[in-house]
C-alpha cells in the first residue's frame, strides 16, 4: 500500500467518528477479556486450593478418604502427581535419565520426528548433518504424561528421585463426581 497516497485522502468527519467508536469498543473488549482472564486465573487457583488442600485436609482430619454427599455425588481423595523438567535444567535432567537407564524416555526431533528410545539414531543423524554441513535443529523432550507416569511409578516403588530436577509435585487431590 502506498502510504503517501493513502495519507493524502481526506476523511469525512463522520467516517473518523465511526472508526473512533469502533476502535474504542475494541479497546473496551480487550480490557474485558484481560479482566476475565485474570478472574479465571484467580478462580482456578482457588479451585486448586479446595481440591489439593482444604478438602483433603478436612477429610484426613475426619479419617476418611471418600464419602457420598447428600446430593449423591462421591468425593474421593487420591494422590496426584505432577512433573515438569525446568527448561534451564533440561540437559542435566536428560543426562541423569540416560545415566540411570531411562534415556528411552527422551524423544528427539531433528527435522524428522524420532520416537522415544531412538537417542542413538538422533546422535548419528546429527553427526551426518555436521559432516555434510547441513543446517539442522535438534529438539529433545520427554512427553509430560510419560514423565508424570514415570515419576509416579518410581515414587510409589520408593525409589530416590531428584524432585527439583524433574519438577515433581505430589499432593492429595479431591475429586467430586
One domain, residues 114 and 34: no
Range of the domain at 132: 79-176
Task: Identify whether 69 is part of a domain.
Answer: no
Same domain, 121 and 172: yes
As a whole-number percent, the residues of the chain with pLDDT over 70 amount to: 91
Give pLDDT, residue 20: 92
The model's confidence at residue 111, banded by pLDDT at 50, 70 and 90, is low
pLDDT in the model for residue 37 = 97
Q: Is residue 73 part of a domain?
A: no
**Whole-number mean pLDDT of the chain?**
88
**How many domains are there within the chain?**
2
Region 68-93: mean pLDDT is 93
46 lies in some domain:
yes
116-145 tens-digit pLDDT: 888 888 788 888 888 888 777 778 889 989
- Indicate whether 158 and 85 sit together in one domain: yes
pLDDT of residue 9: 61
pTM of the model: 0.57
Same domain, 86 and 161: yes
Distance, in Å, from the CA atom of 177 to the CA atom of 171, rounded to the nearest integer, reads: 19
Same domain, 123 and 158: yes
Residue 102 has pLDDT above 60, yes or no: yes
In a domain, 72, yes or no: no
In a domain, residue 70? The reply is no
- Tens-digit pLDDT profile for residues 157-172: 999 899 999 999 898 9
Amino acid at each position: 500500500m502506498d502510504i503517501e497516497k493513502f495519507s493524502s485522502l481526506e476523511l469525512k468527519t463522520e467516517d473518523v467518528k465511526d472508526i473512533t467508536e469502533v476502535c474504542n469498543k475494541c479497546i473496551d473488549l480487550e480490557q474485558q477479556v484481560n479482566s476475565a482472564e485474570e478472574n479465571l486465573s484467580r478462580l482456578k487457583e482457588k479451585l486448586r486450593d479446595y481440591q489439593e488442600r482444604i478438602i483433603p485436609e478436612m477429610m484426613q482430619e475426619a479419617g476418611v478418604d471418600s464419602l457420598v454427599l447428600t446430593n449423591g455425588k462421591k468425593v474421593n481423595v487420591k494422590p496426584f502427581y505432577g512433573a515438569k523438567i525446568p527448561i534451564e535444567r533440561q540437559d542435566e535432567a536428560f543426562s541423569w535419565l540416560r545415566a540411570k537407564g531411562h534415556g528411552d524416555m527422551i524423544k528427539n526431533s531433528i527435522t524428522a520426528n524420532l520416537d522415544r528410545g531412538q537417542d542413538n539414531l538422533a546422535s548419528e543423524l546429527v553427526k551426518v548433518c555436521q559432516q555434510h554441513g547441513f543446517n539442522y535443529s535438534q529438539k529433545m523432550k520427554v512427553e509430560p504424561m510419560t514423565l508424570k507416569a514415570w515419576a509416579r511409578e518410581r515414587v510409589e516403588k520408593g525409589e530416590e528421585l531428584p524432585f527439583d530436577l524433574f519438577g515433581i509435585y505430589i499432593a492429595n487431590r479431591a475429586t467430586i463426581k
